[in-house]
Amino acid sequence: MVRIRIVFLYTIILLCAGGCAPLRDFQAKRQIRRGEELLKKDDLEAALAAFQEAAKLSPEMSVPHSNIGGIYRRMGEYEQAIQSFAEAIRRNPFSFDDTFNLAQLYHFTKRVKDAIQAYLHAVELKPSDFDAQLNLGVCYQQSGDFSQAVERFQRAIEIDGDRPHAYVNLGVALDAQEKYYEAIRAYREALERDSRQPLVLVNLAHTYMNQDRLKMARQSLLQAIEMDPNLAASHEALGYCLFRSRDFGAAERAYQQALTCDWRLPRSHAGLGSIYMIRFLEDKTQTENRDRALEHWHRSLEFNPDQPRIRKLIAEYKPQPDDPDSMLLDERPKPSAAGK
């Protein structure tokens, strides 16, 4: 026992003789191991304290910051997680995992430009990673750079051509570039790999509608509805398809079914408003159709205020007072502030 203590002390003396840094690194690694054990027990607070202590003991180590970032992410403290992963990358710029985690968090917190830069670093470190290429494409797509998005989705497909997600996103990007035939081919490739994807059928229908192929669009949407009768997007798209076909009664039913699935759909409210306004214009004695149209348009704006066309329609078709003098009586109540 005495001999073991002497050996231990001798080791400490040797470490100190070479400077305190090796001793601090040794202690930091012990804290890292302790933190990892605590993580296995889901004791996040204690694990976080252990990794933070490790970071203090050995400031140049990247591993403590990686683990701190992971814990903050699990806690929902995303900004602190971002800072921690960034610190880890400063210490080890070649860590793919830290770079990928940072990119994901930037994307999740809607910092798309930062996410693109982080994913570019990730694919530079590991060009063969499917998820990094796919996510980079999604970020480019969300930023409106569809040509770059197409390139990244194609690279993801080259890495793994059996996963349908890249084909779906490729179809969306190609459709945005008005490359409709190429988009249809991409959607069909996705469906060949997984036929039960009603949302892909909805996307395919929209592309058909962009080509004015309304019968093909309707067929795709009916297939999507058969797969998932509660998918609001398919009923809404069917409503638009039938509206374009001037089958207003069927379009009305489809939009109403969409709102039964999800009553907060601005496009369905806008579509119903257009149907009721058409009926009013055909018979202006039926003012209830005008009123229903205006109400649906107002609801549409409640869920998506950024619709200048709907605002213009409301301004154009809202009823005007018969007597100009009645405007003097239009004294609208002001909302009251809530008090304690």
Question: pLDDT by residue (tens digit) across 133-172?
Answer: 999 999 999 999 999 999 999 999 999 999 999 999 999 9
Per-residue pLDDT at 36: 84
Domain boundary among 166, 193, 220: 193
Answer whether residue 88 is part of any domain: yes
| Number of domains observed in the structure of the chain | 2
> Based on the domain organization, do 117 and 88 belong to the same domain?
no
Alpha-carbon torsion (267, 271, 277, 278), positive or negative: positive
- Domain assignment of residue 255, yes or no: no
Model pLDDT for residues 214-228, shown as the tens digit of each residue? 999 999 999 999 999
- The number of beta carbons lying within 10 Å of the beta carbon of residue 262 is 14
User: Is 32 in contact with 67 (CB distance < 8 Å)?
Assistant: yes
* Contacts of residue 245, Cβ cutoff 8 Å, sequence gap at least 6: 214, 218, 251
Range of the domain at 172: 110-193
Q: Is residue 10's pLDDT more than 70?
A: no
Give tens-digit pLDDT for 221-260.
Answer: 999 999 999 999 999 999 999 999 999 999 999 999 999 9
Contact 103, 115 (CB under 8 A): yes
Q: Are the C-beta atoms of residues 91 and 62 closer than 8 Å to each other?
A: yes
* Helix axes of 198-210 and 214-227: crossing angle, nearest 10 degrees: 170
Q: Is residue 202 part of a domain?
A: no
DSSP assigned state of 20: S
Whether 139 maps to a domain, the answer reads yes
Q: What is the CATH number of the domain that holds 140?
A: 1.25.40.10
- Residue 45 resides in a domain: yes
Residue 78 has pLDDT above 60, yes or no: yes
Q: Which of 114, 147, 151 is nearest to 133 (CA)?
A: 151
Query: Given pLDDT bands bounded at 50, 70 and 90, which one contains residue 57?
Result: confident
- CA separation for the pair 258, 323 (Å, rounded): 40
Q: Residue range 73-86: average pLDDT?
A: 96
Classify residue 299: in a domain, yes or no. no
Would residue 309 count as lying in a domain?
Answer: no
Examine residue 333 and state whether it is found in any structural domain, yes or no.
no
Average pLDDT across the chain, whole number = 90
